[in-house]
Structure 1
Amino acid sequence: MYFRLFLLALATFATGTAENIIVGILPTIAPSLGVSVGIAGQLTSVFSITFAPTAPLALGLTIRFERKSIMLSALAVFAFSNVVAGISPSYSVLFIARIGMAAASAVVCLIATMLATELVDSGMRGRAIGIIFMGISGSMVLGVPAGMLINEWFGWRAVFLALASAALIVLLLAQSFLPKMGQRLQSGPDYKSHLKSYRLLSAQVVSILMIGGHFVLFAYLAPYLTETVGIAGPHVVLAFIAFGAAGVSGGYCGGWLADRLTPRMAIIVTPFFYLLALGAIPLFSDTPAAFIAVMAVWACISWMISPVVQSFLISADPATVEAGIGLNLSAMHIGVALGTAAGGLVLECASLQALPWAGCILVGLAVVFALNATRRGRRMRPTG
């Protein structure tokens, strides 16, 4: 069972790595294709813009097709898109290939999460989702340095060919070891009922606000480390390695917490303690050693929220869980965009030192929405 879960996590890792891998190889791609670095940077933007709506729309496939088959097809599309990217003769071809990668990645993340919950008993669903998010968080943390190394040794085209090879390996393993499973939906995902529930909608907003609060600082962490904390040179890389290790562990910790407590308790506890960790960051900025310890806690809790929220959605309303998971994957990317934009605005109007406090505002609102999500409605009086 655990091998199958880690195989699903490997699928999300392989496809999720494509999202941010462009960041480290922009200086090589831009002159090679005859475009500016700013234009080349849109290769990352188009990935996120494509991913956000694709995840909920992909649920329509489950009406007609078995879920394992959908995931295998998505892995094939992802591999093909990366091959096209690796041999692309122009920027426009690479741009279109990035759209294909993003759509396939969204489908893989969605289906892998749904399959993971079916492989385990109800008491382990949180941990199963947490393992999947270890793959997603690992891809975001490790994708940039991995791309930079491959680019340095073999060139930027080899980066995409390596992603294609990884996807094909995962495809073959999944074909061999994953059983056919996953009931087809008898009708389309029930987005209307899900969004009409103030509790479920509040839980989705928790994801947006907490991830947004995280990216207010994380998107600008490198200059914050250098200019505010005083960490420079190779120590910045070590700080990011520590951040990455803590972040990857957070996915499992979030699932464990949802199982250990109840999802209803976990969705309150997680943003509350994250608020404390984020608020502690500026207090320890003058002591690098203490800052690294606080940063590791901050990183871990930041990746706990997605499995916690998804466990809550499953327990709160099993009837709309497919719609809930699809929308939550979109909520993650909305949070990334919100936090990055808010952080940039803070830098324009204030300073680097203000970033953690701005993030605390969003996370504080996440706590409020978490409390709202866990409110119990009044019981209806029996009739007759």
Structure 2
Amino acid sequence: MDTRIYWLAATVFLAGIDENICIGILPSIAANLHVSLASAGQLTTIFSCVFALTAFGLSMRFARFERKRLLLIALGVFACSNLLASLSPGYALLFAARVAMAASCATVILLATRLATELAPPRLHGRAIGIVFMGISGSLVLGVPVGMTIADWAGWRAVFVAIGLAVVPLGCYLAYRLPVAPPHAAIAWRTYRSQLAHPETLCAQFVSIAMIGGHFTLFAYLSPYLQTWLAPRPAELTLLYVAFGVAGVTGAWLGGWLSDRAGASRALRLCPAAFLLAMAALPLSGHALALFVPAMMIWGCLSWSISPIVQNYLIRSAPAAADANVGINVSAMHLGVALGSGFGGLLVERGALLATPWAGSGLVALALCFAWRSTRMPAPQHARASIKAEAADA
């Protein structure tokens, strides 16, 4: 595998920390800024909404620009927005900083995903995407627990300072290693419309929305959930996030591997079914740490498997529309995050924090239905239909 793919994964690692760090330090932010847990949780919701809108709009336009330059600009905005967050005197400015973070992170992740598939041969596309998404799940193994430790030691603001400074040497390295490539042809709106009008492709996008939405119904409020369900000490809470993150890294790799080996369509059906069982097992495991931790790790593993599976499925189904479908899917993933964190926030506001796993399981059941519908058409016919639609647009 091209080593540059791993450096792209490193950029996604930092973006993943930014996306998920508020989940780990949610109680600290709420207490310091004198807002409710649900209000602090909306920092994740707004991040995901802006991310989704940016990814969708950018995927239509970024082909007109040289990708290396655009990536470096995004990393610059990323660094500045984190430093701004660290200086926020109140909730409003932190909210605005999260908007800028989301836009830059969307750009970084979208570009990293597409550059990874361009650097890898077609037979390894699933694994290349899996490596990039290991950057996001890896942020849970190292980034979020380390961020929680920094927050306990120096306050939550120091976390954003550390993230903003860490991206500077990485940006310099990528400026040296990535080649300059000419811009691609712009993607017409008709291309997006044709893919969204295709039932199988659209259902695959809904798999991402529903499954990630179900996951974030609980995950966005995982810290208060764990504190209520298991009452762990701060050090134990950090270790629980480490366990979750280790499982997530494994899941990102496993999703890419399974998609290449078992076939994208079969993997698309298997992942939501297994995830539904894993998420429902969490409240059934009781308050015993010995039962809950394995169930949580299986849940974490499968939660990070779906993104490389769906993206590989979309790329293989309609190669000519890969840029459009990946852009739509990155948006769909973060619509799922916004849906789940918003839905979870409503439950938390109503005192139903412990019901979040069951509510999330309901959304995952919808994802399984969408996956089954998407793969009903045989793969060769699906691919021909997609390519035919692309030819008509051209």
What range is the shorter-chain TM-score in?
0.7 to 0.9
For 2:146, the equivalent position in structure 1 comes to 146
For 2:166, the equivalent position in structure 1 comes to 166
- Tell me how far apart the structure 1 counterparts of residues 102 and 202 of structure 2 sit (CA, whole Å): 25
* Contact persistence 2:42–2:342 (CA under 8 A): no
Quote the offset at 1:335 in angstroms: 1.4
Query: Deviations along 1:92-118, whole A, 9 cap, x unmatched?
Result: 555443322221111000000000111
For 1:307, the equivalent position in structure 2 comes to 308
1:370 aligns with 2:371: yes
Quote the offset at 1:173 in angstroms: 1.2
- Tell me how far apart the structure 2 counterparts of residues 82 and 356 of structure 1 sit (CA, whole Å): 31
Quote the offset at 1:245 in angstroms: 1.0
- Tell me how far apart the structure 2 counterparts of residues 141 and 224 of structure 1 sit (CA, whole Å): 19
For 2:188, the equivalent position in structure 1 comes to 188
For 1:238, the equivalent position in structure 2 comes to 239
For 1:72, the equivalent position in structure 2 comes to 72
- Tell me how far apart the structure 2 counterparts of residues 36 and 86 of structure 1 sit (CA, whole Å): 16
For 2:34, the equivalent position in structure 1 comes to 36
Quick one: percent identity of the two aligned structures?
Answer: 49
- Tell me how far apart the structure 2 counterparts of residues 146 and 344 of structure 1 sit (CA, whole Å): 25
1:334 aligns with 2:332: no
- Tell me how far apart the structure 2 counterparts of residues 125 and 51 of structure 1 sit (CA, whole Å): 24
1:199 aligns with 2:197: no
Give the direction of change, closer, same or farther, for the CA distance of 1:335–1:181 in structure 2 (3 Å limit).
Answer: same
Query: Deviations along 1:317-348, whole A, 9 cap, x unmatched?
Result: 11222121112112222212222343455567
Quote the offset at 1:223 in angstroms: 4.7
Structure 1: unaligned runs, 5 residues or longer: none
Give the direction of change, closer, same or farther, for the CA distance of 1:285–1:82 in structure 2 (3 Å limit).
Answer: same
Query: Deviations along 1:152-197, whole A, 9 cap, x unmatched?
Result: 5455544333222211111111112222347512443621111011
Quote the offset at 1:213 in angstroms: 1.7
For 2:47, the equivalent position in structure 1 comes to 47
- Tell me how far apart the structure 2 counterparts of residues 84 and 274 of structure 1 sit (CA, whole Å): 37
For 1:208, the equivalent position in structure 2 comes to 209
1:125 aligns with 2:120: no
- Tell me how far apart the structure 2 counterparts of residues 137 and 214 of structure 1 sit (CA, whole Å): 14
Quote the offset at 1:220 in angstroms: 3.8
Q: Which amino acid aligns with 1:270?
A: C
Give the direction of change, closer, same or farther, for the CA distance of 1:140–1:293 in structure 2 (3 Å limit).
Answer: closer
Query: Deviations along 1:109-134, whole A, 9 cap, x unmatched?
Result: 00000001111111111111111111
Give the direction of change, closer, same or farther, for the CA distance of 1:15–1:236 in structure 2 (3 Å limit).
Answer: closer
- Tell me how far apart the structure 2 counterparts of residues 92 and 353 of structure 1 sit (CA, whole Å): 29
Quote the offset at 1:74 in angstroms: 0.9
Count of aligned pairs: 377
Quote the offset at 1:14 in angstroms: 1.3
1:62 aligns with 2:62: yes
1:249 aligns with 2:250: yes
SS at match of 2:184: coil
For 1:12, the equivalent position in structure 2 comes to 12
TM-score normalised to structure 1 length: 0.86
For 1:318, the equivalent position in structure 2 comes to 319
For 2:392, the equivalent position in structure 1 comes to none
For 1:260, the equivalent position in structure 2 comes to 261
Query: Deviations along 1:239-261, whole A, 9 cap, x unmatched?
Result: 22211210122111101111111
Quote the offset at 1:280 in angstroms: 2.8
* Contact persistence 1:61–1:70 (CA under 8 A): no
- Tell me how far apart the structure 2 counterparts of residues 359 and 88 of structure 1 sit (CA, whole Å): 33
- Tell me how far apart the structure 1 counterparts of residues 162 and 237 of structure 2 sit (CA, whole Å): 27
343-352 or 125-134: bigger deviation = 343-352
* Contact persistence 1:115–1:181 (CA under 8 A): no
* Contact persistence 1:62–1:185 (CA under 8 A): no
- Tell me how far apart the structure 1 counterparts of residues 31 and 214 of structure 2 sit (CA, whole Å): 35
Quote the offset at 1:23 in angstroms: 5.1
- Tell me how far apart the structure 1 counterparts of residues 292 and 85 of structure 2 sit (CA, whole Å): 40
TM-score normalised to structure 2 length: 0.84
SS at match of 1:179: coil
Quote the offset at 1:67 in angstroms: 1.4
Q: Which amino acid aligns with 2:304?
A: W
* Contact persistence 1:193–1:320 (CA under 8 A): no
Give the direction of change, closer, same or farther, for the CA distance of 1:243–1:95 in structure 2 (3 Å limit).
Answer: closer
1:101 aligns with 2:89: no
SS at match of 2:232: coil
- Tell me how far apart the structure 2 counterparts of residues 27 and 36 of structure 1 sit (CA, whole Å): 10
- Tell me how far apart the structure 1 counterparts of residues 207 and 12 of structure 2 sit (CA, whole Å): 23
Quote the offset at 1:25 in angstroms: 5.5
- Tell me how far apart the structure 1 counterparts of residues 43 and 115 of structure 2 sit (CA, whole Å): 30
Quote the offset at 1:361 in angstroms: 2.1
Cα RMSD (Å): 3.0
210-219 or 347-356: bigger deviation = 347-356
Give the direction of change, closer, same or farther, for the CA distance of 1:353–1:161 in structure 2 (3 Å limit).
Answer: closer
Query: Deviations along 1:24-83, whole A, 9 cap, x unmatched?
Result: 566776798xx5334766554432232110011112443321212211121122123334
Give the direction of change, closer, same or farther, for the CA distance of 1:319–1:341 in structure 2 (3 Å limit).
Answer: same
SS at match of 2:150: helix
For 2:296, the equivalent position in structure 1 comes to 295
- Tell me how far apart the structure 2 counterparts of residues 338 and 272 of structure 1 sit (CA, whole Å): 20
1:82 aligns with 2:97: no
